[in-house]
C-alpha cells in the first residue's frame, strides 16, 4: 500500500516515506545525509550553491484554458506548454520514486476561509523543515488536532532539487525549473536547492487565486499596536521591511506575505525568512535571537569550523544569507496571524541616489502611482557591471510573484485605501547628503523615529510642504530627527548636483510608468514626479 495518500500524486516510492517529522528528527536526517551542519546554540546551517537566490528567469506558468486570459504573459510570467509540463512531471515523479521522501502537510493563509492546504514532497529533510517553518503548522496554529488526519492538499509542491531540467525536453531556459500548473494544482521545482523557491511559488499561487475571492494579496510585512492599529510595510529586498516591522513595541503579524480581505489582514505564513547578512544583536535583537534557536535554518552563512559559530559579516558565499524560523520565535508575534483593517501603509525604498525625502505623506492617487512603480535602487558593486546606483522598479513591490496584470492589484489597493481611510507613507531607508559613494545611509534610529511618529499620529498632526520634484508632502519636523535631514536638497553640499540627480530619478519614474498609463485613471497618471 502506498503510504500517506501519495498515490494521488502518481507516486509509487521505493524508498522510505516520512511525513510531518518533528524538527529534531529532520535535524537527524539532515546530519546523517550530510546536507546540514549543527551550529553553536542549535540552528542548522545549510548550503544551496550554486543557486544562492531565486531564479526568476526560470519561473514558468503552464499556459492553458485556466490561465490564458488572466495571466499577464511576458518576461516575468513565462508560459510553459502542458506538453512540456507533462514531460517534466514524469521525470520529477520518476526521480522522487527512487528516493527517500519527506512529506510536509501545512496551510498557507491564517484566514480560515481563504487559506489553502499545501503539501510539500521533497527528497531533502531540511527543505521539509523549511516548509514546516514557513507555512502554518496545522496542529499548532489553531486549525484543530484532526486537521492532519483527513488532509487533502489544495496545492502540492513536488520538490526535486537534485534533478536537472533538460531544456530540449522540458522547454526550459536552463537546468532550473519552477513551474506552476493551476489546472493540475501543482508546483514542480527542479535544479535548485534555494529554499525560497518553495514559499514564493505558493505566494504566486495565492496572488492568482485570491483576487477572485476579493482578497488583496500583498508582498508586505504587518504589525499591530497596543490599540489594535495595524500597519503594513511594503518594500523590495534590502529596504528594511523585516527590520522595521519587527518592532518590540508592536505585535508582529507577519514579515513577508499577507492578504487583505473583508475582515482585515492575515498572514500567509507561519514563519519568517529574514536576510542575515551583517545581522547583529545591537541592530536587530529579535531576529538575531531567533538565529540562535533550535529549529532555525541558516542558509549559506559562513561558520567557524572549530567553534561552529556564525560570522554574519562574511558575504563570501553570498550577500543573500538567510534565516528561516517559526514566527513564534519572535517574542511579540501575534499567534493568530490576523489583524484588523490597516490604519497605516508604509512604502519602503532604499534610494541610492539620495534624492527622495526620508519620509513623506501620499494621497491615494500617489499611493497607487508609487505602488505600481515599486521603486528602490541597487548600489554599485552588488552586481557585476554596476558601477553607479541603478534604479529598480518592481510593480506592486513584488512583480516576480504576480501572475495577473499589475493594475489588478493596484485597483485592489486603491479600493481598500478609500474604504478604510488608511494613510500611506513613503519612507526612504537609503542615502542622504549625496548618492551612494558620496552620501551616507540614513540612520536606522532616525528611520525608526519617523515610522513611530507616523504610526502614532504625531506626523499627521504637524505641518507639511510639497516636495518640489516628487510632489509628495514632507513633514516640517519629526521628533528625534534633525530638521535638515527631512529636506534632501539641504543635505547635499552642491544644490545643483542634487537638482540634476533628482531630475534624473524623476525621469526614470516617468519612463517606467509609461507601461501602466492605460491601466490607471488620469488622476493616478498625474500623481508622479513633476
The residues carrying an active-site annotation are 54, 200, 219, 237, 241-242, 256, 322
Q: Are 53 and 196 in contact (CB under 8 A)?
A: yes
Q: Which whole-number Å values give the CA distances from 287 to 75, 217, 277, 438, in the listed order?
A: 35, 25, 12, 30
State the Rg of the chain over Cα.
Answer: 23
Q: Got the DSSP string for 12-23?
A: --SS-EEES--H
Q: Are 298 and 44 in contact (CB under 8 A)?
A: yes
Q: Are 165 and 172 in contact (CB under 8 A)?
A: yes
DSSP 101: E
The residues, any chain, with a CB within 8 Å of residue 268's CB and separated by 6 or more, are 108, 109, 110, 115, 202, 203, 206, 217, 254, 256, 257, 258, 259
Cell, residue 151: 488532509
Q: Spell 263-300 as b/e; 16+ CB within 10 A means b.
A: ebbbbbbbbbbbbbbebeeeebebbbbbbbeebbbbbb
Report which of 190, 187, 250, 260 is spatially closest to residue 223, judged by C-alpha positions: 250
470: left (phi over 0), alpha (psi -120 to 50) or beta: alpha
DSSP 8: G
Half-sphere exposure of 432 (CA within 13 A, CB side): 21
Rounded to whole angstroms, the Cα distance separating 246 from 255 reads 8
Helix ranges (DSSP H) in 172-253: 196-209, 241-245
Rounded to whole angstroms, the Cα distance separating 246 from 327 reads 11
Strand ranges (DSSP E) for 183-229?
186-190, 216-224
Strand ranges (DSSP E) for 295-387?
297-299, 302-303, 310-311, 322-326, 338-339, 342-349, 359-362, 375-378
Q: Which whole-number Å values give the CA distances from 464 to 239, 461, 477, in the listed order?
A: 24, 10, 8
Q: Are 330 and 286 in contact (CB under 8 A)?
A: yes
Cell, residue 67: 490561465
Report which of 236, 244, 221, 220 is spatially closest to residue 444, judged by C-alpha positions: 244
Q: Got the DSSP string for 259-289?
A: EEETTEEEES-SEEEEE-TT--TTT-HHHHH
Consecutive H or E run containing 168: helix 167-170
Q: Are 420 and 231 in contact (CB under 8 A)?
A: no
Amino acid at each position: 500500500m502506498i503510504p500517506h495518500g501519495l498515490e494521488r500524486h502518481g507516486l509509487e516510492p521505493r524508498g522510505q516515506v516520512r511525513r510531518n517529522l518533528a524538527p529534531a528528527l529532520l535535524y537527524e536526517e539532515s546530519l546523517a545525509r550530510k546536507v546540514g551542519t549543527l551550529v553553536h546554540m542549535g540552528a542548522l546551517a545549510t548550503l544551496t550553491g550554486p543557486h544562492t537566490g531565486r531564479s526568476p528567469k526560470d519561473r514558468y506558468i503552464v499556459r492553458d484554458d485556466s490561465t490564458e486570459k488572466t495571466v499577464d504573459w511576458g518576461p516575468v510570467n513565462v508560459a510553459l506548454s502542458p506538453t512540456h509540463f507533462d514531460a517534466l512531471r514524469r521525470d520529477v515523479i520518476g526521480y522522487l520514486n527512487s528516493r527517500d521522501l519527506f512529506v510536509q502537510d501545512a496551510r498557507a493563509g491564517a484566514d480560515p476561509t481563504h487559506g489553502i492546504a499545501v503539501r510539500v514532497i521533497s527528497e531533502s529533510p531540511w527543505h521539509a523543515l523549511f516548509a514546516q517553518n514557513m507555512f502554518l503548522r496545522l496542529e499548532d496554529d489553531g486549525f484543530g488536532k484532526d486537521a492532519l488526519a483527513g488532509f487533502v492538499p489544495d496545492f502540492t509542491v513536488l520538490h526535486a532539487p537534485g534533478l536537472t531540467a533538460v531544456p530540449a525536453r522540458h522547454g526550459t531556459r536552463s537546468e532550473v525549473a519552477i513551474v506552476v500548473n493551476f489546472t493540475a494544482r501543482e508546483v514542480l521545482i527542479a535544479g535548485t536547492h534555494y529554499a525560497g523557491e518553495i514559499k514564493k511559488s505558493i505566494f504566486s499561487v495565492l496572488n492568482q487565486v485570491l483576487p477572485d475571492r476579493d482578497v488583496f494579496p500583498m508582498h508586505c510585512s504587518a504589525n499591530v499596536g497596543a490599540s489594535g492599529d495595524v500597519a503594513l510595510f511594503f518594500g523590495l529586498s534590502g529596504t528594511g521591511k523585516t527590520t522595521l516591522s519587527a518592532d518590540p513595541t508592536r505585535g508582529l503579524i507577519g514579515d513577508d506575505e499577507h492578504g487583505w480581505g473583508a475582515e482585515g489582514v492575515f498572514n500567509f505564513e507561519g514563519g519568517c525568512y529574514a536576510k542575515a547578512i551583517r545581522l547583529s544583536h545591537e541592530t536587530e535583537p529579535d531576529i538575531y535571537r531567533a538565529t540562535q534557536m533550535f529549529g532555525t535554518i541558516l542558509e549559506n552563512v559562513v561558520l567557524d569550523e572549530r567553534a561552529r559559530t556564525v560570522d554574519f559579516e562574511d558575504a563570501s558565499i553570498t550577500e543573500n544569507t538567510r534565516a528561516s524560523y517559526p514566527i513564534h520565535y519572535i517574542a511579540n508575534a501575534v499567534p493568530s496571524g490576523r489583524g484588523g483593517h490597516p490604519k497605516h501603509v508604509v512604502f519602503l525604498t532604499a534610494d541610492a541616489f539620495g534624492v527622495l525625502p526620508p519620509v513623506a505623506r501620499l494621497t491615494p492617487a500617489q499611493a497607487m502611482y508609487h505602488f505600481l512603480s515599486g521603486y528602490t535602487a541597487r548600489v554599485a558593486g552588488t552586481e557585476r557591471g554596476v558601477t553607479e546606483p541603478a534604479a529598480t522598479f518592481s510593480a506592486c513591490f513584488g512583480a516576480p510573484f504576480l501572475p495577473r496584470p499589475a493594475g489588478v492589484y493596484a485597483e485592489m489597493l486603491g479600493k481598500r485605501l478609500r474604504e478604510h481611510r488608511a494613510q500611506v507613507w513613503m519612507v526612504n531607508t537609503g542615502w542622504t547628503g549625496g548618492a551612494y559613494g558620496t552620501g551616507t545611509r540614513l540612520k536606522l534610529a532616525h528611520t525608526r523615529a519617523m515610522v513611530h511618529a507616523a504610526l502614532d499620529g504625531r506626523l499627521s498632526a504637524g505641518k507639511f510642504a510639497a516636495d518640489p520634484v516628487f510632489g509628495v508632502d514632507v513633514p516640517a519636523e519629526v521628533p528625534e530627527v534633525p530638521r535638515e535631514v527631512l529636506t534632501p536638497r539641504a543635505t547635499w553640499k552642491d544644490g545643483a548636483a542634487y537638482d540634476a540627480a533628482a531630475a534624473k530619478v524623476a525621469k526614470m519614474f516617468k519612463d517606467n510608468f509609461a507601461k501602466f498609463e492605460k491601466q490607471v485613471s488620469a488622476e493616478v497618471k498625474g500623481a508622479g514626479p513633476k
